[in-house]
């Protein structure tokens, strides 16, 4: 297996600052949800405290759009790790399973994801998600899930307890280094952050006649200077991608404002 180690964007760091204070991001989420129309949900999770530190409408049911690929890819890598699948096998138009797992995240490649999904079986993946992952409010065969369930699969990625370091580095690279092809996969949350924050994300969207029918973003945020990470899930109907980018900017500003307040004390 060819393993790619992420090459983060260069950033000048003069010091490493430890942040121990619990950062309250609920006001950021409250302000943002009041500022946009449409249907929206947000969850922000802090792995250090193992707490959801901001929440709005977490159990709303949505069409997953391409966030369904998070479940397909997780199970696919797991099958390679446990020896059920050979990653070097060709499965779709000259592409190996390794290539399709990468492209399903990096470029949201649907033919690759569908080939992997068909191998697993739609009903079987539903069963696995419920019985083995313990994620109970999703029916991926019908493309339905909740922000709470998307947060759970993102937590599984973040912990990556069943993945080797090599596989985890490959997944991170797929989530971080996403080229602009026909689409800009990083026009939502990632666009709102400066290069002080690495945003490992998967997006899902559907464009309607006049606006976004669906725009979702699920991301692991790495505040490199602060040695702090967060998981953010945003799921929306009829909310523009630039509004989701604005949420990203507000989150970054709030985290650094909390840091400055702590330093001043």
Instruction: Kindly tell me if the per-residue pLDDT of 139 is higher than 80.
Output: yes
DSSP 203-240: EEEEE-SSSEEEEEEEEEEEETTTTEEEEEEEEEES--
Question: What local confidence, expressed as pLDDT, does residue 182 receive?
Answer: 81
Q: CA 186, 222, 262, 29 torsion: positive or negative?
A: positive
Question: Quick one: the chain helix, strand, coil %, rounded to 5?
Answer: 45, 20, 35
Instruction: Kindly tell me if the per-residue pLDDT of 104 is higher than 60.
Output: yes
Question: What local confidence, expressed as pLDDT, does residue 11 receive?
Answer: 34
Q: pLDDT per residue over 2-53, tens digit each?
A: 444 344 333 333 333 444 568 999 999 999 999 999 999 999 999 999 999 9
Instruction: Kindly tell me if the per-residue pLDDT of 176 is higher than 90.
Output: yes
Give me the percent of the chain exceeding a pLDDT of 70.
90
What average pLDDT does range 122-129 have in this prediction?
A: 98
Question: What local confidence, expressed as pLDDT, does residue 264 receive?
Answer: 58
Q: Which of 121, 100, 117 is nearest to 109 (CA)?
A: 100
Q: Where are the domains of the chain?
A: 26-264
Q: What angle do CA 103, 106, 107 make, to 5 degrees?
A: 75
Estimate to the nearest angstrom the gap between the alpha carbon of 6 and the chain centroid.
16
Instruction: Kindly tell me if the per-residue pLDDT of 153 is higher than 70.
Output: yes
Question: What local confidence, expressed as pLDDT, does residue 209 receive?
Answer: 76
Q: CA 99, 100, 106, 107 torsion: positive or negative?
A: positive
- Average pLDDT over the chain, rounded to whole? 91
Pick the CATH number of 26-264 from 3.40.30.10, 3.40.710.10, 1.10.150.130, 3.40.50.720: 3.40.710.10
Residue 107 near residue 186, CB atoms below 8 Å = no
Q: pLDDT per residue over 205-235, tens digit each?
A: 998 877 789 999 999 999 999 989 999 999 9
pTM for this predicted structure: 0.90
Strand 51-56 with 39-46, pairing: antiparallel
Q: pLDDT per residue over 177-186, tens digit each?
A: 999 888 899 9
């Amino acid at each position: 297996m060819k393993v790619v180690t992420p090459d983060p964007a260069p950033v000048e760091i003069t010091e490493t600052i430890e942040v121990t204070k619990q950062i309250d991001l609920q006001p950021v989420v409250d302000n943002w949800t009041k500022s946009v129309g449409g249907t929206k949900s947000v969850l922000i999770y802090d792995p250090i405290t193992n707490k959801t530190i901001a929440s709005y409408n977490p159990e709303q049911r949505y069409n997953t759009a391409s966030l369904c690929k998070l479940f397909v890819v997780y199970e696919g890598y797991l099958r390679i790790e446990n020896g059920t699948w050979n990653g070097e096998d060709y499965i779709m138009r000259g592409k190996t399973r390794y290539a399709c797992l990468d492209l399903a995240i990096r470029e949201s490649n649907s033919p690759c994801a569908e080939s992997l999904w068909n191998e697993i079986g739609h009903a079987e993946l539903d069963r696995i998600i419920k019985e083995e992952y313990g994620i109970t409010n999703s029916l991926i065969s019908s493309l339905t899930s909740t922000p709470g369930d998307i947060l759970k699969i993102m937590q599984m990625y973040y912990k990556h307890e069943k993945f080797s370091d090599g596989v985890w580095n490959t997944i991170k690279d797929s989530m971080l280094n996403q080229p602009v092809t026909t689409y800009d996969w990083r026009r939502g949350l990632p666009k709102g952050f400066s290069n002080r924050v690495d945003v490992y994300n998967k997006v899902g969207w559907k464009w309607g006649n006049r606006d976004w029918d669906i725009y979702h973003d699920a991301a692991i945020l790495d505040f490199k200077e602060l040695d702090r990470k967060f998981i953010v899930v945003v799921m929306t109907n009829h909310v523009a991608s630039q509004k989701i980018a604005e949420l990203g900017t507000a989150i970054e500003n709030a985290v650094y404002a909390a840091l400055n307040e702590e330093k001043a004390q």
